[in-house]
Structure 1
Amino acid sequence: MIEQPDRARSRSDTVVFLVCLLLASGMLFVPPARTARLASAIRNSVLVPLVWMQETAVEGKTSRSRLVLIQAQRDSIALLAQGLPALRDENDQLRRLLGLGQRVPLEFVPAEVLHQALPTDGLTLLLSAGHADGVALFHPVVAPEGLLGVISSVDRQTSVATTWAHPEFRASAYTDGAGVFGIVAPSAPARGTEPLLELRGVPYRDTIPAGTLVLTSGLGGVYPKGIPIGRVVSVIRELTGWERTYLVLPAANPAHAAHALILLGPAERSLEGAFPDEER
């Protein structure tokens, strides 16, 4: 008589386990569009307190940094602390982002990079701006150095950006100077190396020197013309008589971005000259 409740609980645990297993197996066959909507629903319900806590932590960190800067003006010891590499890099990025905002001839929304959208996902970024700020799908995301990615999911207060490292990323591009056109896509990285890009579809008759700047072409209606993507490293593949594929070193690293600008458009406006050479 005493053991019956234990057996009942054991059966209940088994049923719960089997239900979870079936749900997990079913999610493997759900289309990506539905999983994106499901993830958005979870962020707007179950994960709302966690996102709020993250935003509060970021705001607290920014406030503490400002306090250190104020104290640094009055205290020589705090002035030395201001020279720490991490703080110096963050301040430098903020100054360059402010300068970029003054040069960009488009409407934009500044945003903080809160963290990766998923704990195991290094290909997307969660940004502190959403529908309430005018952000919509396919708005480009840029850093002072160049292109970071594009908005792929939007909530009221936050949005998710797919970076250039995502396997589905594509952008029409051209080279500075010669004006050679091609398509930029992620390159399959070797183990233990930094992710790189490829400039594909370059006509075989055209040769691009190493170090040539690659920029968005403005074709396709998503990315305005003139956003730096990266610089050519070398040829990695060629189809004799047809085309060459070039390896490209990205201009902006999403892993190092703490702040960004979300461009609201229109995409027809050119950004040539908004990214000076000293920023890249």
Structure 2
Amino acid sequence: MSTPLFVRSVSLKVRLTLALSLAFLLIFLDHRLGAMQPVRLFLNSIVSPVQYLAVVPEQALDSLISQLQSRRALIIENESLREDMLALRGQMQRYEFLMLENERLRRLLASEAREDRLRMVAEVIAVDSDPFSHQVVVNKGTRHGVFIGQPVIDAQGVIGQVTSVGVSTARVILISDQSHAIPTRAAESGIRVIAQGVGDTSMLELMHVPHSTELRVGDMLLTSGLGGVFPEGYPVARIQSIVRDESLPFARVRAVPVANLDRIRMLLLLWDADSYEQPIRPEQEAEPL
């Protein structure tokens, strides 16, 4: 018996019919009897990890984007806060400067010893570059009523006097200049002495003091009012040392100025209330002639 060389297979139409029939049968059995429930649970247990792994990259990408956005927002906010902090620090420095300036002006105006004296605040705008000359330039001149020989003080005591005047500026010689001398008296004993500048802003020398003087270390020297330049009663210096060397004709007495002559900035110009010279205020300049 011979075997055919080619076996005829089942046609595609028959296969489709069988597949559809089987599918409808499974649907009927699952719908009526729940026969496919165990199979469904088994397949879900297999597919779930795959679904989870498929979602992980998307979640990681979303988390990364969210973190980058949050980091960028924090960087922008930090930069903004830093700029605000710098601006506030700048304002604080300005406020501190204004507070110090206000306090300095209050002390300056409160330093007036007599009510019959007129005064005007001036600001130092230049310092003499010559190391042997202790002079400064202030921003007040003849149009403000400043005159040659005018006394100048600050919040602590006597600074010097005006030596030359321009229209809007004036030159002030300090009491520490070697060419300047000021008549003083001791506040405790009333002894009158001349305080001479020695070219050092931190030192004055008292001239022609006898060895038998009653001056003592620590005595305060005030303006005596003699000479008609400086009004009486303003602090000038405090005695620092007294050397009584019998080989010298006079005792060597040195005093420290009460004003900080090496860092003055705001000064006070003084006028006698009944003198010919009077201060000229800005509102007076604006008045018609």
Where on the TM-score scale, by shorter chain, does this alignment land: which range?
0.5 to 0.7
Query: Structure 1 residues 246 and 76 mapped into 2: Cα distance closer, same or farther (>3 Å)?
Result: same
Q: What does 1:4-15 correspond to in 2, within 5 Å?
A: none
Separation in 1, partners of 2:268, 2:189 = 29
Of 205-214 and 129-138, more deviation after overlay is shown by 205-214
Q: CA deviation at 1:147?
A: 0.7
Say which SS state the counterpart of residue 108 (structure 2) adopts: helix
Q: CA deviation at 1:148?
A: 0.6
Among candidates 185, 190, 207, match of residue 174 of structure 1? 185
**1:66-87, CA deviations, whole angstroms, 9 ceiling, x for partnerless residues?**
xxxxxxxxx9857853686x66
Among candidates 147, 170, 173, match of residue 159 of structure 1? 170
Number of the residue aligned with 1:10: none
Q: CA deviation at 1:264?
A: 1.9
Number of the residue aligned with 1:213: 220
Among candidates 93, 96, 117, match of residue 106 of structure 1? 117
Q: What does 1:186-197 correspond to in 2, within 5 Å?
A: 186-187=197-198, 189=200, 195-197=202-204
Of 97-106 and 123-132, more deviation after overlay is shown by 97-106
CA RMSD of aligned residues (A): 3.0
Query: Do 2:183 and 2:194's aligned partners in 1 also have CA atoms closer than 8 Å?
Result: yes
Shift >6 Å, 4+ stretches: none
Equivalent residues, number: 188
Number of the residue aligned with 1:96: 107
Among candidates 112, 115, 119, match of residue 129 of structure 2? 119
Among candidates 71, 93, 96, match of residue 81 of structure 1? 93
Q: Highest Rg: 1 or 2?
A: 2
Q: CA deviation at 1:224?
A: 1.0
TM-score (normalised: structure 2): 0.57
Q: CA deviation at 1:229?
A: 0.7
Query: Do 2:225 and 2:233's aligned partners in 1 also have CA atoms closer than 8 Å?
Result: yes
Among candidates 154, 157, 160, match of residue 146 of structure 1? 157
**1:241-266, CA deviations, whole angstroms, 9 ceiling, x for partnerless residues?**
96423110111123322111111226
Separation in 2, partners of 1:249, 1:165 = 10
1:256 pairs with 2:263: yes
1:128 pairs with 2:139: yes
Query: Do 1:172 and 1:218's aligned partners in 2 also have CA atoms closer than 8 Å?
Result: yes
Query: Do 1:198 and 1:246's aligned partners in 2 also have CA atoms closer than 8 Å?
Result: yes
- Note the residue ranges of structure 1 that are not aligned, 5 or more in a row: 1-74, 269-280
- Note the residue ranges of structure 2 that are not aligned, 5 or more in a row: 1-86, 276-289
Query: Structure 1 residues 208 and 101 mapped into 2: Cα distance closer, same or farther (>3 Å)?
Result: closer
Separation in 1, partners of 2:134, 2:249 = 32
Separation in 1, partners of 2:102, 2:207 = 36
Letter in 1 for 2:93: A
Say which SS state the counterpart of residue 132 (structure 1) adopts: helix
Q: CA deviation at 1:218?
A: 0.7
Among candidates 229, 242, 254, match of residue 247 of structure 1? 254
Query: Do 2:177 and 2:199's aligned partners in 1 also have CA atoms closer than 8 Å?
Result: no
Of 160-169 and 239-248, more deviation after overlay is shown by 239-248
TM-score (normalised: structure 1): 0.59
Say which SS state the counterpart of residue 256 (structure 1) adopts: coil
Query: Structure 1 residues 241 and 166 mapped into 2: Cα distance closer, same or farther (>3 Å)?
Result: closer
Query: Structure 1 residues 203 and 79 mapped into 2: Cα distance closer, same or farther (>3 Å)?
Result: same
**1:147-181, CA deviations, whole angstroms, 9 ceiling, x for partnerless residues?**
11110000111100001121110111111111111
